[in-house]
């Protein structure tokens, strides 16, 4: 049966209870702030005014996302490929979802809220210690914040070294793009890619 409405979903799953129901907060507190300050990686979700969704990774040294009070965080837009899909979406709808990850920690932190893009120097100077000052940053007003349980990471064994594959058995980015885009010539090697990327880190 194709599930087409929330009533059918609730018939399958029931309703959350206890901690699952009560854990959603409307502002940051000491544990969510501590999580953000230790997280070197997040996944940023956004949506445009046509309802098209996007999720993209963001990373840096732990603390690369700045916490400003109990309902505001600022994310630098590090140098990338200039597609700026997430930034365009935020300009169009002002909506954002974030998933913070800490290596070795199976729990994650989720934040939903409103966002805008800032090129104001007072915001950019929050990242003055970075190698490259960002052209812009994402200013997020927190509307929902909550911890997400460890089950997905336990199932996937994401941080377990025994679950890692031999990277040399997997196609390089250059090989995959060569096939996908029908590019002539030799693909870029992993070593060449890393050397090129190092300039923008």
Q: Is 166 exposed, middle or buried (0-12, 13-18, 19+ CB in 10 A)?
A: exposed
Q: Is the pLDDT of residue 55 over 90?
A: yes
Question: Do 120 and 152 meet the contact criterion of CB atoms below 8 Å apart?
Answer: no
Assigned domain for 3 exists: no
pLDDT at 65: 98
Same-domain status, 169 and 97: no
Q: Is 137 exposed, middle or buried (0-12, 13-18, 19+ CB in 10 A)?
A: buried
pLDDT digits (tens, 9 = 90+) for 1-33: 899 999 999 999 999 888 888 889 999 999 999
Same-domain status, 134 and 178: no
Same-domain status, 112 and 139: yes
Same-domain status, 64 and 143: yes
Evaluate if pTM is beyond 0.75: yes
* For residues 171-182, average pLDDT: 93
Contacts of 178 (CB under 8 A, 6+ apart): 187
> Which of 90, 42, 88 is CA-nearest to residue 65?
42
pLDDT at 80: 84
Domain that holds residue 46: 17-156
Which residues on neighbouring strands pair with residue 148, listed in sequence order? 108
Number of structural domains in the chain: 2
Same-domain status, 40 and 92: yes
How wide is the angle at C-alpha 53 spanned by C-alphas 47 and 56, nearest 5°?
A: 95
Assigned domain for 6 exists: no
- Percent of the chain clearing pLDDT 90 (strictly above): 81
Same-domain status, 45 and 86: yes
pLDDT at 131: 82
Assigned domain for 141 exists: yes
Residue with token string 């029931």:
14
CATH (domain of 23): 2.30.110.10
- Percent of the chain clearing pLDDT 70 (strictly above): 100
pLDDT at 199: 80
Instruction: Measure Cα distances from 71 to 86, 141, 142, 169 in Å.
Output: 21, 6, 5, 44
Q: How far is CA 153 from the centre of its chain?
A: 16
Same-domain status, 186 and 136: no
Q: Which of helix, strand or coil describes residue 150?
A: coil
pLDDT digits (tens, 9 = 90+) for 113-130: 999 999 999 999 999 988
Same-domain status, 96 and 77: yes
Q: Is the pLDDT of residue 151 over 90?
A: yes
Same-domain status, 54 and 26: yes
pLDDT digits (tens, 9 = 90+) for 79-102: 888 999 999 999 999 999 999 999
């Amino acid at each position: 049966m194709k599930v087409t409405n929330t009533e059918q979903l609730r018939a399958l799953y029931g309703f959350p209870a206890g901690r699952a129901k009560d854990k959603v907060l409307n502002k940051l507190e000491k544990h969510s702030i501590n999580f953000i300050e230790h997280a070197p990686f997040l996944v940023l979700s956004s949506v445009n005014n046509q309802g098209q969704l996007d999720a993209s990774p963001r990373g840096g040294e732990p603390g690369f996302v700045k916490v400003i009070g109990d309902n505001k965080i600022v994310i630098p837009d590090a140098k990338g490929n200039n597609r700026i899909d997430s930034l365009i979406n935020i300009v169009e709808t002002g909506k954002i979802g974030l998933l913070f990850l800490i290596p070795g920690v199976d729990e994650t932190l989720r934040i939903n809220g409103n966002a805008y893009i800032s090129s104001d120097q007072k915001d950019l100077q929050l990242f003055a210690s970075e190698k490259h000052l960002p052209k812009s940053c994402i200013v997020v007003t927190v509307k929902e914040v909550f911890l997400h349980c460890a089950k997905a990471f336990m199932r996937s064994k994401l941080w377990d070294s025994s679950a890692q594959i031999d990277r040399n058995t997997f196609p390089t980015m250059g090989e995959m793009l060569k096939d996908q885009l029908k590019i002539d010539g030799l693909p870029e090697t992993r070593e060449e890619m890393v050397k090129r990327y190092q300039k923008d880190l």
